[in-house]
Amino acid sequence: MLDILQEALNTTVSTMTTVFLMLFLTGIMTEMGLFHRVSFIARPLASVSRLPAISASTFVISLGSVLAANTMTARLKEEGLLTDRQAFLSALMNTVPVYFREMFTYQLAFVIPVLGLFVGGAYAIIFSATGIIKLLIVMIFGRKYLVEDSIALEGTIKPPPKKNLFQAVKGSLAGEIPIFLRMTGIFFIMTFSILYLNEIGFLSSLDAVPLAHFLQVPPETIIPLTVFVASPKAGMSLLGPMVQNGSLSEAKALIVLMLGSMFMLPFIALRSQIPTYASVFGMRMGFSLVAVSTAISILVRLIVLCMMIMIQ
């Protein structure tokens, strides 16, 4: 128990140090109106989704850091500049850029070279399609549910007044410290809980092997599948040579990847996303965001898995 407590403390200190710096820097830039000036880049996207123009600013930030974008979204919500629904859809939209950023940093750099053009390319397309589907969902639900929210907040969002650096630093600290303290407390509690569940074997009980047997996945892929759930890169590294030497068909490889992804995503959600999102947005909204985002990602892979099984 003491080891778990120490690991939770170390993780909290490491993560929340980064979070504080992001909060502080984005707070300064927000106070000085820098994001307002560049929000025009994403304003058409926000407009189509019927999100307020200020959501375009958080989307621009998410091009560099989802965490920084979400902390700004949470602050805007606390200040009454975004309703709960607007903040929820803004946060979901903030997750979209990572899918296209990772196309260059992960898919083209690692996945395709390891798995080959067909299997790796298909995996990259499915990964990117998840981001497009999330964006479409934001647009559809935004156009359906955000009309009243936009009317309620009409006229409340104005360009920030010009401030010098000292005023911006002061305003940033005043606005961010209460949010940061709340985030730190929730993050520590959630991290400790997840580590404890892992220690008692709850997370490891989520086993993909029985389902793999049910789907008649080749026995030789069980080890890569199991490794993939814990570490996608390691799993792909084991799976790649099997595809290249012909011992595993490309269709079967995609089935293994989809199945492994479906079990990997809940692990990622439990271990890292839930503590982070709950600390930023609070328990209710944080859990809801992770649940919706993870469900969309799993559903995309489930559809592909069913299609692959049908054509076998």
Domain ranges in the chain are 34-159, 201-312
Poorest-pLDDT segment among 1-5, 9-13, 90-94, 208-212 = 208-212
Greater confidence, 224 or 138? 138
Mean residue pLDDT of the chain comes to 79
Q: Are 252 and 221 in contact (CB under 8 A)?
A: yes
CA 215 – CA 117 distance, rounded (Å): 25
262-287 mean pLDDT: 86
**pLDDT over 90, % of the chain:** 16
Q: What is the pLDDT of residue 127?
A: 92
Greater confidence, 148 or 94? 94
Lookup: tokens for 41 = 């880049």
Q: What is the pLDDT of residue 247?
A: 77
Q: What is the pLDDT of residue 287?
A: 92
CB-based contacts of 237: which residues, under 8 Å, 6+ apart?
114
Q: What is the pLDDT of residue 166?
A: 67
Greater confidence, 61 or 93? 93
Greater confidence, 70 or 164? 70
Q: What is the pLDDT of residue 128?
A: 92
Q: What is the pLDDT of residue 211?
A: 57
End-to-end CA distance of the chain: 48
Q: What is the pLDDT of residue 135?
A: 92
* Highest mean pLDDT pick, 22-26, 76-80, 189-193: 76-80
44-69 mean pLDDT: 82
Residue 204 has pLDDT above 60, yes or no: no
271-303: string of b/e by CB count within 10 Å (b at 16+)?
eebbbbbbbbbbeebbbbbbeebbebbbebbee
Structure confidence by residue, pLDDT tens digits, 115-174? 888 999 999 999 999 999 999 999 999 888 887 555 444 444 455 555 666 666 777 677
Q: Are 59 and 38 in contact (CB under 8 A)?
A: no
Greater confidence, 52 or 291? 291
**pLDDT over 70, % of the chain:** 79
Q: What is the pLDDT of residue 92?
A: 94
CA 285 – CA 262 distance, rounded (Å): 23
Q: What are the φ/ψ torsions at residue 48 (nearest 5 degrees)? A: -60, -35
233-261 mean pLDDT: 84
Assign residue 163 a region: left if phi > 0, alpha if psi is -120 to 50, beta otherwise? beta
CA 120 – CA 108 distance, rounded (Å): 9
Q: Are 62 and 51 in contact (CB under 8 A)?
A: no
**Residue 38's pLDDT band (boundaries 50, 70, 90)?**
low
Q: What is the pLDDT of residue 209?
A: 57
43-47 mean pLDDT: 77
Q: Are 258 and 308 in contact (CB under 8 A)?
A: yes
Greater confidence, 45 or 85? 85
46-50 mean pLDDT: 82
